[in-house]
Amino acid sequence: MKRRFILSLDQGTTSSRAMLFDAQGRLVSSAQKEFTQRYPRPGWVEHDPWELWSTQSGVAAEALLRGGAEAGDIDAIGITNQRETTIVWDRETGKPVHNAIVWQDRRTADLCDTLKADGLSAMVRTKTGLPIDAYFAATKIRWILDNVEGAREQAARGKLAFGTVDSWLIWNFTKGALHVTDITNASRTMLFNIHKLDWDDDLLDAFDIPRNLLPEVCASSECVGRTAAGVLTAEVPLAGIAGDQHAALFGQMCTRSGMAKNTYGTGCFLMMNTGTQPIESKNDLVTTIAWKLGDEVHYALEGSIFIAGAVVQWLRDGLGIIRSAAEVEALARSVPDSDGVFFVPAFAGLGAPHWSARARGTLFGATRGTTAAHIARAALDSIAYQSADVLKAMEADSGMHIDELRVDGGACANDLLMQFQSDLLGIDAVRPRIIETTALGAACLAGLATGFWPDIETVQQQWQQDRRFNPSMQPARVAASLKDWRRAVAAAKAWGDDTALPDSSHQRA
């Protein structure tokens, strides 16, 4: 019998990837291609939608070739994508009216301030689980309608379509037959009511966005259609869709309430499955939809850390104390600890749960004895400290104790960092054998929809542990370290707040 596969398409912020998985959940082949980052003005970030499509379709063909497979061998396609990135296109021609506005883009920050001043924060948070921020898609859509000539008029006439990147890919895979998104991507727009599970008319009115612009919302694991004839050499079911962090949560098999994962990339994205009821955060975390399988919706708490792996890049490119990111672990291991040095990597402010936009990167506790190794150790430690802050906020919001933290992303390969993370949390940090959990999650969602895997228990059994890190640090030392970390964070926040400085005008020069 000929082998069958799931093709997972992972459309990220800097590259498009495709991965082929077999029935045992093993990675058979992969392909990746970077695309152009566009910065037309300070704080603006754009992608060419056509380049997103061409690179993604290209690597799909390449992954099949490398795996010795044909499109007819594919049981289903799963799609996972950079979230919040916004594309608006013409329904008749399929041409985008503007470049994709990327999730990192801050051009609508002033509009967000205006909406907050108008008193909309509570309504948006209650309905969507999100704060008003330029990060999310709604104000990006509004900007395109207000700034692209003729766009608002065309939208009013039903001529335009909006989509996050998943919608754009599916539109092109089906040659315009399907305009859909999944429930996780919809939940990141600031337009979707996560309780009623539908686009919200009050929010559409507040953001001045017509409903006819929006895609149909489907489940995360559902056969929404097939690729059009001629796009691939066979018509393949499109059956799994999820935003990248939601797919990673599923790929880590965090399928029960109280399970959590942390993705260690440029930043850190922590997600905790909170079950079938949304939990409103009291600690400035985001309440979001984890996924929808069948008729059951799971929710999650999420916290984003701006600087994680990026701090290692800074050690390399900014300080020049390492030549490659791979060297950081050996340098940090050359000393027993940071010798009282604490580094708060607030290069772009602090994210959850501190939310201090004015805080800046700050080094504390340096002495004449401080070496490059101590700074490298403090930099790695800072990733674990920030993650511990978010995990503790999640436990406080949910009232649940997290038993273990499942880890993925590039920096989870750093054993020193993973051990310190386990020590700080007092729980195991568990690294899976396949750390490409975003693509794996999308594959699992697709395979469950088509019956490629019969049930969720089957895919859970395929998840394999690579290494489990157990806490070994004495509790008293952990408590002292966390206390000093909190002092460092408070000082970094105070540094950015010049109103907190004492008035020295009366002092002598």
| Weakest-pLDDT range from 30-44, 319-333, 351-365, 431-445 | 351-365
| Weakest-pLDDT range from 155-169, 186-200, 395-409 | 395-409
| Weakest-pLDDT range from 2-16, 191-205, 247-261, 287-301 | 2-16
CB 442 within 8 A of CB 242: yes
| CATH (domain of 81) | 3.30.420.40
- Compute the distance between CA of residue 209 and CA of residue 151 in angstroms, rounded to an integer: 11
Average pLDDT over residues 305-313: 84
Q: Is the pLDDT of residue 162 over 50?
A: yes
Average pLDDT over residues 160-168: 97
Task: Look at 98 and 436; give whichever has higher pLDDT.
Answer: 98
Question: What Cα–Cα distance (Å) separates residue 375 from each residue in 297, 340, 370, 410, 489?
Answer: 44, 10, 7, 21, 16
Domain boundary residue, one of 235, 261, 292 = 235
CB atoms within 10 A of CB 256: 10
227 and 296 belong to one structural domain: no
226 and 264 belong to one structural domain: no
pLDDT of 173 reads 96
Angle between helices 437-450 and 244-251 (to 10 degrees): 80
Q: Quick one: 224 exposed, middle or buried, by C-beta within 10 A (0-12, 13-18, 19+)?
A: buried
Note the pTM of the prediction, 2 decimals: 0.89
Q: Does residue 432 belong to any structural domain of this protein?
A: yes
- Compute the distance between CA of residue 105 and CA of residue 189 in angstroms, rounded to an integer: 14
Q: Which residue has the tokens 């607030």?
A: 346
Q: Is the pLDDT of residue 502 over 60?
A: no
- Please provide the average confidence, as pLDDT, over all residues in the chain: 92
> What single string gives the DSSP state of each residue in 475-504?
HHHHHHHHHHHHHHHHHHHHHT-GGGS---
> Checking DSSP bridges between strand 100-101 and strand 46-47, what pairing results, if any?
antiparallel
**Would you state the torsion angle of the CA atoms of residues 478, 479, 485, 490, taken in this order, to the nearest 10 degrees?**
170
Bridge partners of 428?
404
pLDDT of 483 reads 96
pLDDT of 358 reads 74
91 and 202 belong to one structural domain: yes
Task: Look at 14 and 33; give whichever has higher pLDDT.
Answer: 33
Helix (H, G, I), strand (E, B) or coil at 408: strand
Q: Does residue 244 belong to any structural domain of this protein?
A: no
| Weakest-pLDDT range from 122-126, 229-233, 290-294, 478-482 | 229-233
Task: Look at 495 and 77; give whichever has higher pLDDT.
Answer: 77
Average pLDDT over residues 358-371: 90
Q: Does residue 245 belong to any structural domain of this protein?
A: no
Domain boundary residue, one of 235, 265, 287 = 235
pLDDT of 384 reads 96
Domain holding 273, by residue range, is: 253-500
Q: Does residue 92 belong to any structural domain of this protein?
A: yes
DSSP 8-state secondary structure symbol assigned to residue 128: H
Q: Does residue 167 belong to any structural domain of this protein?
A: yes
User: In which region does residue 44 sit, left (phi positive, over 0), alpha (psi from -120 to 50) or beta (all else)?
Assistant: beta
Bridge partners of 292?
297
Average pLDDT over residues 477-493: 94
30 and 160 belong to one structural domain: yes
Q: Is the pLDDT of residue 263 over 60?
A: yes
pLDDT of 310 reads 82
Q: Is the pLDDT of residue 507 over 70?
A: no
Q: Does residue 509 belong to any structural domain of this protein?
A: no
345 and 220 belong to one structural domain: no
pLDDT of 509 reads 41
Task: Tell me the backbone φ, ψ of residue 129, rounded to 5 degrees.
Answer: 80, 5
264 and 177 belong to one structural domain: no
196 and 272 belong to one structural domain: no
Helix (H, G, I), strand (E, B) or coil at 365: coil
198 and 272 belong to one structural domain: no
209 and 301 belong to one structural domain: no
Token pair in block for residue 63: 């992954």
Torsion sign, CA atoms 494, 497, 503, 507: positive
Q: Does residue 247 belong to any structural domain of this protein?
A: no
Taking only the tens place, the pLDDT of each residue in 267-285 is 888 999 999 999 988 888 9
Nearest C-alpha neighbor of 220 from the set 190, 186, 173? 186
Q: Is the pLDDT of residue 508 over 50?
A: no
Helices within 121-192 (DSSP H only): 121-128, 138-147, 151-156, 165-173, 183-186
pLDDT of 1 reads 58
Q: Is the pLDDT of residue 155 over 80?
A: yes
231 and 259 belong to one structural domain: no
CB 101 within 8 A of CB 203: no
457 and 320 belong to one structural domain: yes
Q: Is the pLDDT of residue 500 over 60?
A: no
Torsion sign, CA atoms 452, 454, 455, 458: negative
Q: Is the pLDDT of residue 470 over 50?
A: yes
Q: Does residue 414 belong to any structural domain of this protein?
A: yes
Angle between helices 475-495 and 415-425 (to 10 degrees): 100
Taking only the tens place, the pLDDT of each residue in 47-99 is 999 999 999 999 999 999 999 999 999 999 999 999 999 999 999 999 999 99
Q: Is the pLDDT of residue 368 over 70?
A: yes
pLDDT of 499 reads 59
Q: Is the pLDDT of residue 127 over 70?
A: yes
| Weakest-pLDDT range from 306-315, 380-389, 441-450 | 306-315
Q: Is the pLDDT of residue 225 over 50?
A: yes
Question: Structurally, how many domains does the chain consist of?
Answer: 2
Domain boundary residue, one of 174, 203, 235 = 235
> Checking DSSP bridges between strand 268-275 and strand 216-218, what pairing results, if any?
unpaired
230 and 268 belong to one structural domain: no
pLDDT of 150 reads 94
| Weakest-pLDDT range from 195-209, 292-306, 418-432 | 292-306
Q: Which helix (H) or strand (E) holds 34?
A: strand 27-34
